Chain A
């Protein structure tokens, strides 16, 4: 995905060529739908949120200052939309304390099967308070890049690091029982 292509298309759209926006949609539809999907785990809703993000981007395209990459601006806009949408109409989640241990204990070591364990962890992320959940979702969406995550959340990197650390700590505390593992405290 080329930044130059984005810039050229944006300039065309700002100059009045609306059809050039289709190139932007085609280039960024995958990442934006997937970003929204990670926030809501519902394909239909993810597409609705991604569409709304594109529409907002179209409306405010002239406000994009060229200091940051177009993708950074687009992700920040989409993240803001996803966060506010989910605060308005939350995804149905269970509290961290109410996550039920899966019934199937097939693993010999007393822990859960890997797939079960992964699902428990993902559900636990959804049960976190929004600010920790958002930081974790974006951090892993952006391939564990703190700087990009911070830009998407329009927060300082230090704040993002603190939220990630606190979020993992909360997950670890709550999951230690379900996963049948000793509590490993504090990360470096």
Chain B
């Protein structure tokens, strides 16, 4: 088949007329949309002081925790019991190849996200 054949066949498409109630049906939907109350906006003004306080508290807890940890580890070494537990965790991590599993999971997730962009349209 030549391009002209495709052009001829695909150009002469059957035209349909919308049903008689189409305009009324659309306008009903539009009216309902217009009469619906607007969505309640998030009360940023009221929430902002609370959110700021929560954020600051989180930062304070984080900084205090880090500084306490550093102070403790500098003044006295970690107890051998804790050290051996750490060693066990690291050993188990190496045995099961957790690094590779993590890497594979991250790559799978990335590839799923990437292909979804093609399947479900533009981001």
A interface vs B, CB < 8 Å? 18, 21-22, 25-26, 29-30, 33-34, 37-38, 43, 46-47, 50-51, 54-55, 58-59, 80, 83-84, 87, 117-118, 121-122, 125, 136, 140-141, 143-144, 154, 168, 171-172, 175-176, 179, 181, 184, 187-188
Contacts and interface: CB of A to CB of B under 8 A. Distances in A.
Contact of A140 (B10, B31, B120): B10
A25 B34 CA distance: 15
B10 A25 contact: no
B19 to A, nearest CB: 6
Contacts, number: 93
Contact of B23 (A22, A34, A43): A22
Contact of B22 (A29, A136, A140, A187): A29
Nearest to B122: A154
A48 to B, nearest CB: 10
A55 B33 contact: yes
A33 B22 contact: yes
Contact of B16 (A33, A55, A83, A184): A33
